[in-house]
Structure 1
């Protein structure tokens, strides 16, 4: 090892010693066996075992450890529940992980203001349960609710099945506290709904995936809790019919629509017939399948959906349908939609695209994507399932497992998405996997603004290096720098 490397190793050792003093033995893990499980998230991207796992228990400790890392120019990867699907929590070599697993718990519920204040490491499900105990509800909901943390959902601006009714995470956060790269604390944990006092700085951190600051606490906007719902599955000729159904449903049910989920025939056939992931609730084959759920204000909401189906049937917008008459029947219907999270073993090597276009263009975009994929020898079967009301589709494309196939398929789909003015990520974040494709959704001017903001808040580039805006480490200077043509693997 040359002299530079020796100095660099000594530099890191001094930093880790300083971090150990600041955090205590409960607040830091350094043994390789303890650190390795913090290397990666659920994206499939393989990170490196971090130099250490920092486990602060307060905002003050986050501030102190970031100040140390900033002074020693050590990259820091913030982590919550590590449920991300874009590699945003994967650790590049030579970095430390900042885990919020000790910063957990509901701090306060204000029933009058309908707010809940929680630490960033609190699981989403814990927040939901606490709100419901008070007769209220936190409406952001995703499949990983039991593990995903509030800080993680804020960092990625998580969506889910209830976006149509309540919006994404950023629409449900009233106040926020975050720590910048140098240890400075930005704290505005107020409950004021109307606040036009200058820039809304919390929005800078929501969806920024930890590259601008580390979220420590949040004030969440709660909603009234409706305990009853009605659920139906409609089979229809095509996606156009589903859009017409959405218009009719909005006119009839208004804001009571809690879910409006679409499944294309390729997905339906795979989970219901080619595998044992779910049982088909309907017979025959149809052009599109729609799961609609509404809030049940009172007894009779099931009858409302039956009447709605009858009207659509007369207009030839639906061909068949089934109404959930019990909790078990509702769970069976949802099982078909949620089976997308269980297809990996049966579907084999594939790319899971989380992409968005205008809701009115979603059907036509998927048709165009199928046509482009049909021309690619590298592409295998494709499955499509998603959120009809907000234009978000999860497109799963099988391939032979080679990097060349992934590269070719991604290039084709993201190029098509750019033609349709779409988003390369709708609800899973950019992370590290999609950082190289962000220019397909953002202009050069927008990217310049993002880099400028990053440079202002994190001039050494230590926060989540390589996420969102790709970066590489210059070992001679010990700093992180951004590169124009990033490689696929982590540095």
Structure 2
């Protein structure tokens, strides 16, 4: 549990000399097993290395230690009149170093990008204890290889992130929340493009298939659907565009048959009530035995993928219960299978192979925003070619020749 970069460097130098494996750890909220140590590993926790070093209002940047929680960074940005747009359900306990190491996503990716898009500079300690000063406040900086990109999304296998300089965004104006019922998947894509053309890219664009919508409503404190639950799809989105423009866009979409019904929240309370349906995912571990998938596909093929998975799951395990939902505007779909609806013991590996095979067939990614870690390592070949995996291994060997950093993860 080091407190300084120098202590991290000392620890790694000692471990590298001894050939001792090390697993970097942040807030332990990851969903791919990337921070789970074996009995022979040393866990290196960054939780004592926390705090805001500086907010540069002119550069619109915030400099932080890797152990700082996402929520603390968000609050510091708000207090300074800015927005740090990365947002996850685990914001109160996840640490920014872990967010960067896994290239975390979240609801606002459609507008602001992944964590990778918010990082300007890093300080990283290599396996042998060398400290790379890659700290930078400039958006334009073309001095050779952009080494920081090697460590973003590397899940602690190439180096330990100790500090970061992050981009801040202007605080958005008042947002409008809408829930729309849709006839089919293509209408969801068409509506997104309409909104982008008229009011700009929304802050969030969350698609829920009928099965997920009904489940989310049933778990509400007052389980009454805000509109008919007979529609095939529902989209919940937030926009900072002028309300009048959104109303006009909605009218045009209804006339075109892309929207069947709609609710435009008239208050923050009503908006929060609509979001509670989408946030039913927080109840999954308590109410289901969930097997969760986080995949991405070309946006135009997400609807096809959902139907393909549903058909194959129903054919192989009749009566299974699965739900579909996702951010879709950033190509991300989530699929959850309730293992309680399957023969016991649940055939976890068979289901994973079925889903990830379908991902590979449509040219998608087996991990949209959760990383590879341990849990998806055996399925990486569905999305990454043998040549690319070899290049990854060569990169690993270059930065960590003794293989002490987070061994067995990703590769």
User: Taking structure 2 as the reference length, what is the TM-score of the superposition?
Assistant: 0.96
In structure 2, the partner of 1:283 is 228
1:264–1:384 CA contact under 8 A, matched in 2: yes
Does the residue aligned with 1:388 lie in a helix, a strand or coil? Answer: coil
- Which residue is equivalent to 1:46? none
**Cα distance in structure 1, aligned partners of 2:263 and 2:142:** 47
Cα deviation 1:265-295 (Å, max 9, x = unaligned): 1111122137769652212410100011111
Q: Deviations over 1:213-269 (max 9, x none)?
A: 0000000011111242111000011111101101111111124x1111100011111
Work out whether 1:331 is the aligned partner of 2:272: yes
Partners of 1:411 and 1:362 in 2: CA distance: 18
Mapping of residues 96-135 of structure 1, within 5 Å:
96-135=42-81
Report the equivalent of 1:394: 334
Q: Which of 353, 359, 383 is the aligned partner of 1:411?
A: 353
- In the alignment, does 2:252 pair up with 1:311? yes
Give, in angstroms, the shift of residue 415 of structure 1: 0.9
Q: Is the 8 A contact 1:172 1:220 kept in 2?
A: yes
Question: Closer, same or farther in 2 for the Cα pair 1:161/1:92, shift >3 Å?
Answer: same
1:80 to 3, 26, 29: 26
Q: How far apart, CA to CA, are the structure 1 residues paired with 2:403 and 2:226? A: 52
346, 350, 365: which one aligns with 2:305:
365
Distance 1:378 1:288 in 2: 23
1 or 2 for the larger relative contact order (CA 8 Å, sep ≥6)?
2
Deviations 1:381-408 (A, max 9, x none): 1101101201211100123485660011
Q: Does the Cα contact within 8 Å between 2:199 and 2:245 map onto a contact in 1?
A: no
Match status 1:429 vs 2:371? yes
Q: Greater shift after overlay, 105-114 or 70-79?
A: 70-79
Which one is further off, 355-364 or 267-276?
267-276
Deviation (angstroms), 1:95: 0.7
Q: What's the counterpart of residue 124 of structure 2?
A: 178
Instruction: Check whether the contact 1:378–1:405 (CA below 8 A) recurs between aligned residues.
Output: no
Which stretch has the larger CA shift, 425-434 or 245-254? 245-254
Q: 1: distance between equivalents of 2:155 and 2:236?
A: 31
Residue 154 (structure 1) aligned to one of 92, 100, 105: 100
1:59 paired residue number: 5
In structure 1, runs of 5+ residues without a counterpart are: 1-54, 470-491
Q: Counterparts of 1:162 and 1:459 in 2: how far apart (Å)?
A: 37
C-alpha contact (below 8 Å) 1:358/1:422 kept by paired residues: yes
Q: More displaced, 455-464 or 445-454?
A: 455-464
Q: 1:223 aligns with which of 158, 164, 169?
A: 169
Structure 1, residues 338-393: CA drift from partner, whole Å, max 9, x if none? 1112122222x231000000111111111111111112128721101101201211
1:459 equivalenced with 2:401 (yes/no): yes
Residues 224-243 of structure 1 mapped to structure 2, 5 A cutoff: 224-243=170-189
Asked whether 1:143 is paired with 2:63, we answer: no
Q: Which residue of 2 aligns with 1:167?
A: 113
Change (3 A) 1:87 1:277: farther
Q: Which residue of 2 aligns with 1:383?
A: 323
Bigger radius of gyration among the two: 1
Measure, in 1, the Cα distance between the counterparts of 2:53 and 2:312.
51
Deviates more, 1:337-346 or 1:139-148: 337-346
Among 159, 163, 171, which residue is 1:213 paired with?
159
CA gap 1:436/1:384 in 2 versus in 1, 3 angstroms: same
Aligned to 2:386: 444
Instruction: Give distance in 1, aligned partners of 2:402 and 2:343.
Output: 36
What is the match of residue 314 of structure 2?
374
Q: CA RMSD in A?
A: 1.6
Question: Number of paired residues?
Answer: 409
- Do the aligned residues in 2 keep the contact of 1:73 with 1:462 (CA within 8 Å)? yes
